[in-house]
Amino acid sequence: MANRLAAEKSPYLLQHKDNPVDWYPWGPEAFARAKAEDKPILLSVGYSTCHWCHVMEHESFSVPAVAEVMNRHFVCVKLDREERPDVDKVYMTAVQAMSGQGGWPLNVFLTPDLKPFYGGTYFPPDSRYGRPSWTSLLERLASLWKERRADIENDAAGLARAVTAYASASDAARGRPEEGALEAAESALRASFDAEHGGFGEAPKFPMPANVRFLLRRHARTGDVDLRTMAVETLRAMTRGGLFDQLGGGYARYSTDHAWRVPHFEKMLYDNAQLVENLADAVNVSKDGELLRALERTIGYLERDLRAPGGGFWSAEDADSLPYDEPHGHKKEGAFYLWRKAEIEAILGNGAGGVCARYGVVEGSNAIADPHGEFEGKCVLYEKDPGALDEKTAGVMRAKLFEERAKRPRPSLDDKILTSWNGLAIAGLARAFGATGNGTYLALAEGAADFVRRELSSPDGKALWRRWRDGEKAVNGMADDYANMAYGMLGLYEASFKPGHLVWANDLAMETIRRFAADGGGLFQTGQNDGGELFTRAIEDHDGVEPAPSSVMADVCLRLYDLTGREEFRRFADETLERFGASLTSRPLAMPFLLAAWDRAVGKKTTLIISDMDLPGGKELVGVAREKLGPGLVFAAYRRADKAALSTIVPIVKEFAEGTKARAYLCVEHACGLPIEDPQELRRRMD
């Protein structure tokens, strides 16, 4: 019989609905039972495309004897971290404090009042990897709960206090970043840059879009060619590696090796959304044809494989899939993407030699490392020798292999739609339209925005839900939902110049501050009336694979302030930069997205407004403006029919006289010059 998770919508929870474990979803029913039976809670956190979550589910949670131990001693709770990142953040912080490391699956043991007393990540069924077996750990903790209850509760209370202080950043040193913080971040990135293989640091390598974004904006500010080179070469290296799906486009979550060769094959919307923005910015500053093709193919992947019928974007595709050549096998990582040389030869005939030479296909396996034996006899496609086959021929051959691959069992799809990640996708697609002029990209961004407004927003657009799946919206929006949607809508306005998009960005920014702002700057993950079961509210202080909502909102508020003049936006940005300023100075790579906002705050600020863009010359003026990646530039434009609507939120528009041609007004540090009608003059003034 299915357990309680069968009634849930989360794809991750549904993966565990047939376990013999008596799982509860996170919520009051589980908490009440733990108190009534005086049992500790076992909280197991993961997400649907998590490889090691699948492993532990197969090895332990599906085994009746193991489930019996879990059910006898604990109230067992399953949680999708993508639906409730606030819960995950609190208990991940606790586990990192206890063990010095974290990851998923996250398994945490809690007192009935939800305070953590022990935890870790993956636990094997037998003692290995220096870890105890799962069942021996369960029995040991159950004994300690009975024999040393007071000690456990005392330790849990102390850990909860420490987690509260850290997660809320209540004891962090304050102060604006020191002079030289931006240069220190540049130096830190130079020191960790892998000049041979691209990217930063050693294996495993993650894309880290916030680093690339910072480098490209600093290059635009300073003209330092080395900064552009690090960003562009990192994007090229990722795109040439196995991290990039050479047949279908799109990037995997990370590379297990130093050369981007062997990926962890899951594909996440948040990675690809941000990399679309990175690629668009890189194309803007470099005009690189290889990166333009990568941009086109990544958006092609999003449109083909992650776009839901209603216009929003689904969350992810799994790393694991059933091997096409093992009818009775079990799922393996990367099975959908791997190739034997003989298969390629059979499909392509005489064309196989060039394809194998270009994409590094050999007899046997080309994997740099294969600790679990999943790549035996098979190859990951990567750009070993781009010159071995011209791009036109390579495109034809890729299409044939792609068609053949489509017949294989696909990785499972996480078909929930998250507001936060769709906001990032809207922003990336809007930037891609600005860099290329491709109207399809703008239409995709508009479609995602329409979906969120229709399915995940209140009628006035000021309240957001976090998740939609199968017709159901659920979970009150969190700080990243509001911040990323404001970021996306501001970018979409700069692409489309529809005043309604700017109005919604403004409303969302105001709501973000009202619902989530902490005293002294920054954003709590949850609203004051949400997540009340937790013993603390967390403030994210790290721009990791996703940017912290505080960082995103600081950028949004600085841009909106320059357009609207609303002091609450400037005040929030100033307080946030001061709250994290000491950290930006001492750990310059902890928050590169926020550092870019600091650059905007202290650098020269330019507001460009193009009036009557539907009149002669408007298209050309807009085109000149889009040539620039200005870290201090805020860009607005309007059609004559939209002037009244825009002036309600951008007051300066009222002052611009109407003429017979489009005009550009360049305002530096809030002082506007004479109108410019000549595109060449605007280009000269913007250089």
* CATH number of the domain residue 566 falls in: 1.50.10.10
Residues 57 and 130 in one domain: yes
Regarding whether 621 and 641 lie in a shared domain, the answer is yes
- The mean pLDDT of 381-402, rounded to a whole number, is 96
- What pLDDT, in 10s, does the model give residues 125-150? 988 777 789 999 999 999 999 999 99
Secondary structure of residue 532 in the 3-state scheme? coil
Q: Which tokens hold the place of 130? A: 């220096």
- Give the CA distances from residue 245 to residues 249, 252, 392, 398, 433, in Å, rounded to whole numbers and listed in that order: 5, 8, 18, 11, 22
Give the model's pLDDT for residue 369: 82
- 225-240 helix and 181-192 helix, angle to the nearest 10 degrees: 40
Contact (CB, 8 A) for 631 and 600: yes
pLDDT tens-place string over residues 578-626 = 999 988 888 889 999 999 999 999 988 899 999 999 999 999 999 999 9
Report DSSP state, residue 58. I
Residues 397 and 442 occupy one common structural domain: no
CB contact at 8 A, 425 and 313: yes
Final residue in a domain of this structure, among 551, 583, 602: 602
CA distance 112 to 241: 48
Report whether 419 contacts 464 (CB < 8 A). yes
pLDDT at 529: 82
Q: Does residue 219 contact residue 227 with C-beta atoms inside 8 Å?
A: yes
pLDDT at 342: 97
Same domain, 346 and 235: no
Q: Looking at the domain assignment, is residue 17 inside a domain?
A: yes
* 230 and 140 belong to one structural domain: no
What does DSSP say about strands 413-414 and 316-317: parallel, antiparallel, or unpaired?
A: antiparallel
For range 188-207, the mean pLDDT: 95
Q: Please tell me the total count of domains within the chain.
A: 4
Question: Has residue 176 been placed in a domain?
Answer: no
Task: Kindly list the distances between the CA atom of residue 248 and the CA atoms of 135, 209, 334, 361, 413, in Å, as whole numbers in the listed order.
Answer: 42, 21, 14, 17, 15
Same domain, yes or no: 492 and 463: yes
Q: Does 659 reside within a domain?
A: yes
Phi/psi at 427 (5° precision) = -60, -45
Q: Do 140 and 27 share a structural domain?
A: yes
Q: Is the pLDDT of residue 436 over 70?
A: yes
- What are the DSSP calls for 541-594, one per residue? ---SSS--HHHHHHHHHHHHHHHH--HHHHHHHHHHHHHTHHHHHHSTTS-HHH
Chain centroid to CA 118: 29
- pLDDT value of position 628: 82
The predicted structure's pLDDT at residue 425: 98
In which residue are the tokens 């960082």 written? 551
CA distance 427 to 445: 8
Residues 671 and 641 grouped into a single domain: yes
Question: Residue 626 is which amino acid?
Answer: R
Distance CA 326, CA 464 (A): 45
Give the residue from 574, 602, 630 where a domain finishes.
602
CATH of the domain at 34: 3.40.30.10
pLDDT digits (tens, 9 = 90+) for 165-193: 888 766 666 888 888 899 999 999 999 99
Share the mean pLDDT of the chain: 94
38 lies in the same domain as 160: yes
- Tell the burial category of 363 from Cβ atoms under 10 Å away from its Cβ (0-12, 13-18, 19+): exposed
DSSP characters over 377-429:
T-B----S-GGGS-HHHHHHHHHHHHHHHTTSPPPPEE--EEHHHHHHHHHHH
What mean pLDDT comes out for the span 409-424?
Answer: 97
Nearest C-alpha neighbor of 594 from the set 544, 641, 629: 544
3-state SS, residue 95: helix
Is residue 193 included in any domain, yes or no?
no
Per-residue model confidence as pLDDT tens digits over 445-474:
999 999 999 999 999 999 999 999 999 999
33-47, pLDDT tens digit by residue? Answer: 999 999 999 999 999
Determine the pLDDT at residue 604: 87
- Answer yes or no: is 184 within a domain: no
Structure tokens at 321: 């899939």
Q: What is the pLDDT of residues 505-550, one digit of tens each?
A: 999 999 999 999 999 999 999 998 887 899 999 999 999 999 999 9
Does residue 187 lie in a domain region?
no
Distance (Å, whole) CA 301 – CA 602? 38
pLDDT for position 153? 96
Domain that holds residue 206: 201-318+414-602
| 3-class DSSP assignment, residue 128 | strand
Q: What is the pLDDT of residue 377?
A: 93
Q: Is residue 301 part of a domain?
A: yes
CB 494 within 8 A of CB 633: no
Six token digits for residue 470: 């199968």
How does residue 220 score in pLDDT terms, banded at 50, 70 and 90? very high
Torsion of CA 13, 18, 24, 27, to 10 degrees: 30
Is residue 361 domain-resident? Answer: yes
Question: By C-alpha distance, which of 457, 455, 464 is closest to 514?
Answer: 464
Q: Tell which of 602, 617, 647 closes a domain.
A: 602
Vertex 97 angle, CA 95 and 103, to 5°: 40
Q: Which of 265-279, 324-338, 534-548 has the lowest mean pLDDT?
A: 324-338
Q: Residue 378 and residue 376: Cα distance in Å, rounded?
A: 5
Same domain, 349 and 418: no
**pLDDT surpasses 90 at 371:** no
Whether pLDDT at 562 is above 70: yes
DSSP string, 475-519: EE--HHHHHHHHHHHHHHHHHH--HHHHHHHHHHHHHHHHHHBPT
CB < 8 Å & 24+ apart, contacts of 294-297:
294/235, 294/239, 294/244, 294/249, 295/432, 295/435, 295/436, 297/248, 297/249, 297/250
Please state, for a pLDDT cut of 90, what percent of the chain lies above it: 87
- The pLDDT confidence band at residue 670, using thresholds 50, 70 and 90, is confident
| Whole-structure pTM value | 0.96
**Contact present, 280 and 435 (Cβ < 8 Å):** yes
Q: Do 574 and 621 fall into the same domain? A: no
Q: What is the dihedral of CA 537, 542, 545, 547, to 10 degrees?
A: 80
Same-domain check for residues 419 and 526: yes
Q: Which residues contact 218 (CB under 8 A, 6 or more apart)?
A: 182, 186, 224, 227, 596, 599, 631
